[in-house]
Chain A
Amino acid sequence: MASGPRRVVVTGMGAVCALGNDIAQTWAAARDGRGAIAPHLFDPGPNGPAPHTTPVALVNGDIVGLAETTLGRRIGASLDPFALYALLTCHQALTQSGLMGAEVLKTRSAVVLGHGFAGIQTLELSYERFYGQKSARVHPLTVPRVMVSAPVSAVAMEFCVRGPVFAVSSACSSSGHAIAQAAALITSGQVDVALAGGSEAIATPACLRAWEGLQAMSPTTCRPFSRDRDGMVIGEGGGALVLEALDHAEARGAPIIAELAGIGLSSDAFHLTQPSLEGAVSAMTAACAQAGVLDGRPVLISAHGTGTPLNDANEAAAIHAVFEATWKTQPVIATKSAHGHLIGAASVIQGVIGLMALKEAVAPPILNWLGEDPHCDLNLMLAPATPIAARSLLLNAFAFGGLNTALVFTLPD
């Protein structure tokens, strides 16, 4: 064994969300302030209640067709959208990393993806047949399409990954935990490469009603850290990173996007839906301390920033506590205002956008902001896109149930 833990770097990224079906489209829309939240009519069909309209951020276009074109083979109806997003984003990330088809995928690689839910679209259609149409025969592919591990299995089969492959779930922190677990597999020496990230596709008639029942959904749009913010907006899509041992990446001369320099994981052990200051501070402090970025240097903070009254005030207080006097100079972005809340995929999609922001030295603007809230006094990056000097990204995710991840990425020297 080599002395000291192995360092982990990012060598590839992929994104599919309402802002675009690849990284270039997603980043351009985020940077230019072109938000994708819009009202959409959801029709539960003849056996359900009346159709209703609610704001969401939906992936655009024919995703099955896009996946078939991208992968060069037929996919058909065997996968739920949340697995298709995983396939597409992992393909993008592997392509960028230069590892597509590489032997290391078969021998010393992992796939770890996070999802807050599972194949909700498939499940809802199956239950509609069962309860609505009163058919005792449920579609025979329901189970393999719904299972939360369907995306990692599809990715492993597609790219021939034969090492550790599994899904993790922690609601809105799922992909943050997936990245942390994938990194741990590399630092422990079990693998050299890991596809990590997550995906979510829960914009369905009944599931959205379930979210509305929580009283956490905005009837208008997502306004992080704004006065008069009134809740979150569901988005769909996914994101993926190729994580790689630094020594492995250097040996093959791979361009390094960033180093995963700090990981902070914590649990509030407090409440199912309310956040706690201590949990957020604990995760953020651990990640920043490990990365060595608490010395006053500029750190781009990609806030969890859901647009709910409670989360944003709690997160603002946590940023004050962690960065002490320097909080006033730390740029804060909140891109859920553009792509909605991707739940299990929230951390990774924000990570991809945050890493693009570091690379381009520009902060994508917080959208839909109406004015200051004294409980959210932060250095908010509002429109238009602002130049930034930060070389490190703090990526926050605070899930229902009090499960927190904070990740710090730093650009290579």
Chain B
Amino acid sequence: MAISDDELLDVIAQEALIDRARLVREATLEDIGLDSVDLVSVVFAIEEKYHVEIAEDAFAKTGNLGDFLDTLKAQIEKTKA
């Protein structure tokens, strides 16, 4: 079953202690205030939840939250495959 934006956003909100309402695809990580330290926590939580490993350089070209979600999904699918 495909992973939804909502379930990933729930993890981000919980791990980085961000108001869930602010997490929309169009927002940039900078807008939301997600820094590299937050990303470490978020990626760790995603890895634990989906039992996958996400490459360290996976987010090099991430622009906005939508890109980030798509990258996460691709990484999860790739390591599950």
Chain A residues near B (Cβ < 8 Å): 64, 73-78, 135, 137, 139-141, 144
Contacts and interface: CB of A to CB of B under 8 A. Distances in A.
Contacts of B34: 76
Contacts of B47: 137
B3 to A, nearest CB: 20
Contacts of B40: 140-141
Contact of B16 (A76, A137, A139): A76
Nearest to A79: B37
Contacts of A78: 37-38, 41
A140 B18 contact: no
B71 to A, nearest CB: 19
Contacts of A74: 18, 32-33
**DSSP class of B's interface residues: helix, strand, loop or mixed?**
helix
A70 B18 CA distance: 16
A75 B41 CA distance: 13
B38 A77 contact: yes
Contact of B15 (A73, A77, A135): A77
Interface in B1-38: 15-18, 32-34, 37-38
B48 interface: yes
B29 to A, nearest CB: 11
Interface of B: 15-18, 32-34, 37-38, 40-41, 44, 47-48
Contacts, number: 35
A141 B41 contact: yes
Which residue, A76, A137, A144, has most C-beta atoms of chain B within 10 A?
Answer: A76
A139 B33 contact: no
What 4 A-B pairs are tightest by C-beta distance, nearest first? A74-B33, A76-B16, A78-B37, A77-B17
B48 A73 contact: no
A76 B44 contact: no
Contacts of A137: 44, 47-48
B39 to A, nearest CB: 10
Contact of A77 (B16, B33, B48): B16
Given A64-B17, A140-B41, A76 B33 contact: yes
Contacts of B18: 74, 76
Contact of B44 (A64, A75, A139, A144): A139
A137 B16 CA distance: 18
A73 B17 contact: no
Given A77-B15, A77-B41, 12 more contacts: A64-B17, A74-B18, A75-B17, A76-B18, A76-B33, A78-B38, A78-B41, A139-B41, A140-B40, A140-B41, A140-B44, A141-B37
A384 B74 CA distance: 67
Contacts of A75: 17
Contacts of B44: 137, 139-140
B38 A76 contact: yes
Contacts of A139: 41, 44
A64 B32 CA distance: 16
A70 to B, nearest CB: 15
A287 to B, nearest CB: 41
